């Protein structure tokens, strides 16, 4: 399995995760105290991937700086393939033909969307791909409301994909594209250097020629590319840690903790606060007495003063929350936001460096 390679598509603008992505590109946004894309790099390194190519179209320096420590930690080479214009989800692969075929011209390679969290069963995916012997395999996951998604229709025994149905009005199945793929290098000759979509252009053509298979992903999965889904993904990941014997000790415990809760060792938490379930607290946070946190993420260096109540919210880096503040309903605070005492925020998105002194009731408010 040596010389295995993977491509992670990191070139999107991450508009749905604003205001967080105004300060950092989505792949390095903290998720349970680690950059989001690191979960994927770790899982790839674990099954023997030696080179990960990040397909990027803007801000490569910032991402390279954030990910550099993981190269030696995970013994994996992280390379960057830069597009001068965004090439969509397929176009970037055509730019890196040489890189992908270097040393191992016949070896299949993984391709991942960067905003997915999952257990990443890449070893099973590789085995399944070799077993059917065709050009590509995509992982699929089960959803309860398939009419919102592109549904993958395939033979349940062999996995051979019949067709893709975008937002079906009538039920055709409940399996959707999970954003995790493996392809043989032969696919590269079918993709040109121009903006091209894997999902809309390349996959339907591969399915029509019988070259694309689906493998069901078991375990948790979430696309965390928007705030509500980020919070659902966080809950699923923390539950996964709680159920896993080797990981459970990474979680916090104590009389003021309702698990699962993840707290960075450098955070200071008053024993008179009540934290959880489903809370992630980043480095250098300071949580004062009487604070109540549930189903929320605090990135690094957030200070929450006494008796504030925060639920279903994402609090960006370096925010300051006053006393008796109440926040709910997928509120997102960008970097370095300050909230005055007694303010209520009901789902607003607050841009970086703002100071909020009055309550915001409108859940669709964007505070610029």
Q: Give me the active site residues, please.
A: 167
Distance (Å, whole) CA 295 – CA 119: 21
**Which distant-in-sequence residues (6+ apart) come within 8 Å of 81 by Cβ?**
7, 53, 54, 55, 56, 92, 95, 96, 99
Q: Which is nearer to ligand GTP, 21 or 33 (CB)?
A: 21
288 binds ligand GTP (CB under 6 A): no
Distance (Å, whole) CA 233 – CA 191: 32
- List the beta bridge partners of residue 78: 52
- List the beta bridge partners of residue 176: 141, 151
* From 14-22, 122-130, 290-298, 343-351, span contacting ligand GTP (CB under 6 A): 14-22
Q: Which positions from 231 to 270 touch ligand GTP by CB under 6 A, shown as an x/- string? A: ----------------------------------------
Q: Which is nearer to ligand GTP, 15 or 357 (CB)?
A: 15
Size of site (CB under 6 A) for ligand GTP: 23
Q: Which helix (H) or strand (E) holds 60?
A: helix 60-74
- In the chain, the largest separation of any two C-alpha atoms, in whole Å, equals 63
Inter-residue contact 81 to 6 (CB < 8 Å): no
| The binder of ligand GTP chosen from 4, 5, 6, 10 (CB under 6 A) | 10
Inter-residue contact 58 to 15 (CB < 8 Å): no
Phi, psi angle pair for 78, to nearest 5°: -110, 115
| The binder of ligand GTP chosen from 3, 13, 77, 127 (CB under 6 A) | 13
Residues 127-166 that bind ligand GTP (CB under 6 A): none
DSSP 8-class letter at 360:
B
Residues 81-100 that bind ligand GTP (CB under 6 A): 83, 86-89, 92
Q: Which is nearer to ligand GTP, 10 or 291 (CB)?
A: 10
Q: Which positions from 192 to 231 touch ligand GTP by CB under 6 A, shown as an x/- string? A: ---------------------------------x------
- List the beta bridge partners of residue 269: 287
42, 55, 43, 58: which is closest to 100 by C-alpha?
A: 55
- List the beta bridge partners of residue 169: none
CB of 124: closest distance to ligand GTP in angstroms? 22
Q: Which helix (H) or strand (E) holds 232?
A: helix 227-243
Q: Which is nearer to ligand GTP, 19 or 322 (CB)?
A: 19
Q: Which positions from 98 to 117 touch ligand GTP by CB under 6 A, shown as an x/- string? A: ---------------xxx--
CB of 96: closest distance to ligand GTP in angstroms? 10
Q: Which is nearer to ligand GTP, 17 or 343 (CB)?
A: 17
279, 356, 357, 294: which is closest to 328 by C-alpha?
A: 294
What does the binding site for ligand GTP look like in residue numbers (CB under 6 A)?
A: 9-17, 26, 55-57, 83, 86-89, 92, 113-115, 225
């Amino acid at each position: 399995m040596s010389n295995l390679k993977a491509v992670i598509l990191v070139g999107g603008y991450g508009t749905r995760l604003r205001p967080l992505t105004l300060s950092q590109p989505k792949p390095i946004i903290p998720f349970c105290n680690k950059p989001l894309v690191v979960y994927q790099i770790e899982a790839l390194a674990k099954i023997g991937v030696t080179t990960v190519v990040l397909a990027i179209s803007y801000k490569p320096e910032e991402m390279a700086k954030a990910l550099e420590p993981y190269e030696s930690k995970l013994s994996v080479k992280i390379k960057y393939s830069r597009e001068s214009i965004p090439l969509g989800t397929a176009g970037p692969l055509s730019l890196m033909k040489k890189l992908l075929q270097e040393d191992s011209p016949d070896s299949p390679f993984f391709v991942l969307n960067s905003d997915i969290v999952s257990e990443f069963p890449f070893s099973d995916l590789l085995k399944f791909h070799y077993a059917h012997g065709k050009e590509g395999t995509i992982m699929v996951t089960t959803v309860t409301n398939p009419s919102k998604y592109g549904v993958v229709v395939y033979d349940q025994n062999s996995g051979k994909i019949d067709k893709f149905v975008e937002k079906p009005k009538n039920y055709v199945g409940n399996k959707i594209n999970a954003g995790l793929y493996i392809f043989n290098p032969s696919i590269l000759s079918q993709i040109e250097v121009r903006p091209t979509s894997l999902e809309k252009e390349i996959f339907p053509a591969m399915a029509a020629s019988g070259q694309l298979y689906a493998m069901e992903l078991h375990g948790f999965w979430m696309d965390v590319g928007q705030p509500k889904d980020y919070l659902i993904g966080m809950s699923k990941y923390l539950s996964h840690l709680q159920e896993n014997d080797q990981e459970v000790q990474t979680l916090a415990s104590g009389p003021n903790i309702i698990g699962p809760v993840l707290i960075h060792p450098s955070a200071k938490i008053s024993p008179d606060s009540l934290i959880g379930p489903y809370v992630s607290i980043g480095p250098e946070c300071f949580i004062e007495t009487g604070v109540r946190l549930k189903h929320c993420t605090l990135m690094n260096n957030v200070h929450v003063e006494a008796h504030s109540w925060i639920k279903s919210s994402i609090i960006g880096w370096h925010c300051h929350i006053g006393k008796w503040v109440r926040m709910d309903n997928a509120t997102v605070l960008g970097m370095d936001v300050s909230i005055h005492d007694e303010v209520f925020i009901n789902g607003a998105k607050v841009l970086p460096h703002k100071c909020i002194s009055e309550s915001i009731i409108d859940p669709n408010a964007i505070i610029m």
